[in-house]
Copies of this chain bind each other. A is one copy, B any other.
Amino acid sequence: MDRITPRTLSGFKDRLPNEAIKKREILNRLSEVFESFGFAPIETPHLEYADVLLKRGSKEIQKELYRFKDHGGRDVALRFDLTVPLARFATQHRHSIRLPFKRYAIGSVFRGERAQAGRYREFTQCDFDFLGSDSLVADAEIIAVLEAGFEALGIEEFKISINNRKLMNGLLNSLGYLDLSEEILRIVDKLDKIGKERVGEELKSAGVKDPIPIVELIGLKGSREGFFEQLEMLSSDPMTQEGVRELKELVAILEAMGIRRDRVEIDLSIARGLSYYTGIVYESKIEWCKEIGSVASGGRYDNLTSSFSDEKISGVGASFGVDRLLVAIKRAGLLKERQTPATILGVALDKNSLLYILQALNKMRKNGIKCEVYPDSAKLKKQLDFANAKGYKYVLIAGDSEVVNRKFVLKNMQNGEQKSLNLDDVIFTLKADV
């Protein structure tokens, strides 16, 4: 028989148990946080009509789309994000959902970009959005979810940097550059990578004669007393003034919600590349892992559903970068390294004691203990080697004499300690150890 080389596509990857267990834990904890704020899960297909996806996609996205003809000759594509499908969903089911509508969605998205280290062509997005409300309470709540999400993952040291697009837009309006705003935002977004000087140069090339006010604006950062007064002086343009007022009110709501002051900061360099943001935007970095960039970000958009409907649905949403979170959590050792979700391996010395072990594990499971059985009565050494390789802390051993005496040997693989116990004491010991 001809063999096929087992391989994955470049830019696609498998997750082995150790990583998949961590990812499941992360997504479970984040889902619980979303739900604690009343966000409900929804699902949309991985495959959509290409025109549905393309209407909102940038030129870059269009190039990266996995697009093909299906069996019926339809022009279809794999989704490249979860936001465009949300816009389609909200319009299509407009009569079944009630605004304000809060949903979260977790799933794979696909972009055929050039393969680079750490960049994947299939990756997981974890989005939550609050549709149909213009209230700043909605913006504040998204930021509160970010804080609660980090905390649920055991991450205490992080900073959420907040901006309002209206400040820059007001300034550009007063300078007469509003028509260039998309291009200017794109350049400003590179500040972290290329520095102020190069930003100034690129702005000039883009047609901004005097980039100094823009470069000054993106250098502002703070949360101290007097900072908002400084912002109010940036430009007398009504849009800038409105933007500052919104930021002030947002900070007051965040205080009421109990968000820790040292975790949020106004930072006018935050641009968020995506052109659909129209108001408050934010990014967040983990203090001890800044170099991986923003791990959660989002903002307000005025008209999510414009491709599909005349009805304007505004909203605010954000998303956690699951792969970056995994990197950070791994680095800090916040979740245990484990090959298996179980905590104990059952080891039988002969066929008869195997049945005895199976009975015991059955009862342990009913007591909430996750346990695996070695399925053959193999040599003890072989079974213990297996337990070590899988990282089991405990094994439960039984042979003839254990069966006769209704006992078990509980062996701690870390310190080698062995005890002869009845089943209730085994269960007690394990529950006390968790």
Copies of this chain present in the complex amount to 2
Interface residues in A249-286 (C-beta closer than 8 Å to B) = 252-253, 256-258
Say whether, besides A15-B42, A23-B43, A376-B135, A52 and B4 are in contact (CB < 8 Å).
yes
Q: Is the CB of B108 within 8 A of A9?
A: no
The stretch among A94-102, A170-178, A421-429 that forms the contact with chain B is: A94-102
Contact partner, A20, options B42, B359, B372, Cβ 8 Å:
B42
Shortest CB-to-CB span from A50 to chain B, Å, is 10
Q: List the B side residues contacting A141 at CB < 8 Å.
A: 373, 375
Distance, CA A196 to CA B431, complexed state (A): 54
Seen from chain A, the residues whose Cβ lies within 8 Å of a Cβ on chain B are 1, 3-10, 12-17, 20-21, 23-24, 28, 31, 35-49, 51-52, 55, 64, 66, 68-72, 74, 76, 78, 87-89, 91-93, 96-98, 100, 102-103, 108, 110, 112, 122, 130, 133, 135, 137-138, 140-141, 144, 148, 252-253, 256-258, 306-310, 339-342, 345, 354-356, 358-359, 362, 365, 369-376, 386, 389-390
Say whether, besides A66-B47, A137-B375, A9 and B41 are in contact (CB < 8 Å).
no
Q: List the B side residues contacting A55 at CB < 8 Å.
A: 4
Q: Is the CB of B362 within 8 A of A258?
A: yes
Q: List the B side residues contacting A68 at CB < 8 Å.
A: 66, 68-69
Q: Is the CB of B9 within 8 A of A71?
A: no
Say whether, besides A3-B309, A389-B98, A44 and B14 are in contact (CB < 8 Å).
yes
Say whether, besides A46-B122, A51-B4, A103-B17, A138 and B375 are in contact (CB < 8 Å).
yes
Q: Is the CB of A341 within 8 A of B7?
A: no
Distance, CA A233 to CA B359, complexed state (A): 32
Q: List the B side residues contacting A5 at CB < 8 Å.
A: 308
Q: Is the CB of A6 within 8 A of B354?
A: no
Q: List the B side residues contacting A10 at CB < 8 Å.
A: 72
Q: List the B side residues contacting A371 at CB < 8 Å.
A: 36-38
Q: List the B side residues contacting A345 at CB < 8 Å.
A: 38
Q: Is the CB of B17 within 8 A of A41?
A: yes
Distance, CA A376 to CA B138, complexed state (A): 9
Contact partner, A70, options B41, B66, B355, B389, Cβ 8 Å:
B66
Q: List the B side residues contacting A310 at CB < 8 Å.
A: 3
Chain B residue at minimal CB-CB distance from A102:
B372
Q: List the B side residues contacting A64 at CB < 8 Å.
A: 71
Q: Is the CB of B76 within 8 A of A9?
A: yes
Q: Is the CB of B137 within 8 A of A376?
A: yes
Chain B residue at minimal CB-CB distance from A106:
B24
Distance, CA A16 to CA B43, complexed state (A): 7
Say whether, besides A9-B49, A24-B31, A93-B16, A372 and B37 are in contact (CB < 8 Å).
yes
Chain B residue at minimal CB-CB distance from A17:
B40
Contact partner, A308, options B4, B108, B369, Cβ 8 Å:
B4
Q: List the B side residues contacting A3 at CB < 8 Å.
A: 307-310
Q: List the B side residues contacting A356 at CB < 8 Å.
A: 256
Distance, CA A140 to CA B355, complexed state (A): 11
Say whether, besides A4-B55, A55-B4, A309-B6, A14 and B40 are in contact (CB < 8 Å).
no
Task: Pick 17 A–B contacts, CB within 8 A, sort by A.
Answer: A6-B91, A8-B44, A14-B43, A15-B44, A16-B42, A17-B41, A21-B40, A21-B41, A23-B41, A36-B370, A38-B373, A39-B341, A46-B108, A47-B66, A100-B375, A137-B358, A256-B356
